[in-house]
Structure 1
Amino acid sequence: MTVTALGDLIEIDDRTVLVLGQELDVEHDQPDVANALVHRTGDTLVLVDTGVTPTFRAALRTATDRVGPWSRALVLSTHGHPDHVGNNDLADELGVPVEHYVPAPDLDQMRDPVSYWVRSFERIAGAAPLPPPALAANEVVSLFRPMRPFGATTRTYEERPLERIRIGSLRFTGWTFADGAVRVLRSQGHCAGHVIVHLRDCGVLHLSDEGNGPCGAMADADQLKIQTTLGAVARLFEEGEAAVLTDGHTFSVRRGAEVAPYLDGLLEQATALQEAALGLTRESRRVRPSAFTTRFAETVAAQGVGGANPSPMFTTMMAVNELRELGLRPESGGVDAPWSRPALQNPAPQAPRPVSAARGSQPTSTLRGAR
Structure 2
Amino acid sequence: MSALGDLIGLDDRTVLVLGQELDVEHGQPDVGNALVHRAGDTLVLVDTGVTGPFRAALREAAERVGPWSRALLLTTHGHPDHIGNNDLVDELGVPAEHYLPARELDQIHDPVGYWTRAFERIAPFTELGAPPAQAARTLLSLFEPVRPFGASARTYEELAPERVTVGSLRFSGWSFVDGAVRVLRSEGHCAGHVVVHLRDRGVLHLSDEGNGPCGAMADADQLKIQTVLGAAARLCAEGAVTTLTDGHTFAARRGAEAVAHLDGLLAQAVALQRAAVELTRGADRVEPGVFAAAYGRAVVGLGVTGANPNPVFLAMTTVNQLRGLGFRPDPAAPGGPWCRAGAGRPPGGRAG
Q: How does 1:119-158 map to 2 (within 5 A)?
A: 119-130=117-128, 131-158=130-157
Cα distance in 1, alignment partners of residues 308 and 340 from structure 2: 31
Deviates more, 1:161-170 or 1:42-51: 161-170
| TM-aligned CA distance change 1:252 to 1:42, over 3 Å | same
Gap regions ≥5 residues in structure 1: 348-371
Deviation at 1:290, TM superposition (A): 1.6
Partner residue, 1:266? 265
Give, in whole Å, the separation in 1 of the partners of 2:140 and 2:80.
Answer: 8
2:192 is equivalent to residue 193 of structure 1:
yes
Q: Is 1:314 matched up with 2:313?
A: yes
Task: Say whether the 8 Å CA contact 1:126–1:335 is kept in structure 2.
Answer: no
Number of equivalenced pairs: 345
Corresponding position of 2:116: 118
Structure 1 residue 296, shift from structure 2 partner: 0.4
Shift of 1:329: 2.0
**What do residues 33-91 of structure 1 show as CA deviations (whole Å, max 9, x unaligned)?**
00000001111111000000011001000000000000001100000000000100111
* Contact preservation (8 Å) 1:15, 1:40: yes
- For 2:327 and 2:43, locate their aligned partners in 1 and report how far apart those are by CA, in whole Å: 46
Query: Counterparts of 1:344-359 in structure 2 under 5 Å?
Result: 344-345=343-344
Secondary structure of residue in 2 paired with 1:115: helix
Aligned pairs for 1:1-371 (under 5 A) are: 3-130=1-128, 131-282=130-281, 284-332=283-331, 336-345=335-344
How far off its partner does 1:343 sit? Answer: 3.5
Instruction: Give the number of the structure whose alpha-carbon radius of gyration is greater.
Output: 1
> Could you tell me how far apart the structure 1 residues matched to 2:58 and 2:154 are?
21
Name the TM-score, length of structure 2 as normaliser.
Answer: 0.96
Q: How far apart are residue 338 of structure 1 and its match?
A: 2.3
- Matched position secondary structure for 1:52: coil
The alpha carbon displacement at 1:209 in A equals 0.3
Cα 1:132–1:170, aligned 2, differ >3 Å: closer, same or farther? same
Q: Does the 8 Å contact 1:91/1:153 carry over to 2? A: no
Q: 1:249 to 1:333 in 2, by over 3 A?
A: farther
Residue 271 to residue 333, structure 1, CA distance change in 2 (3 Å): farther
- Tell me if structure 2 keeps the 8 A contact 1:25–1:31: yes
Partner of 1:367: none
Query: Distance between the aligned counterparts of 1:294 and 1:182, measured in 2?
Result: 44
Give the conservation status (yes or no) of the 8 Å contact 1:124–1:289.
Answer: no
User: Cα–Cα, structure 1 residues 101 and 333, in superposed 2: closer, same or farther, change >3 Å?
Assistant: farther
- 1:345 Cα deviation from its structure 2 partner: 2.0
**Other structure's SS at 1:101 match:** strand
2:54 maps to amino acid: F
Counterpart of 2:349 in structure 1 is: none
Helix, strand or coil for the counterpart of 2:261?
helix
Partner SS for 2:82: helix
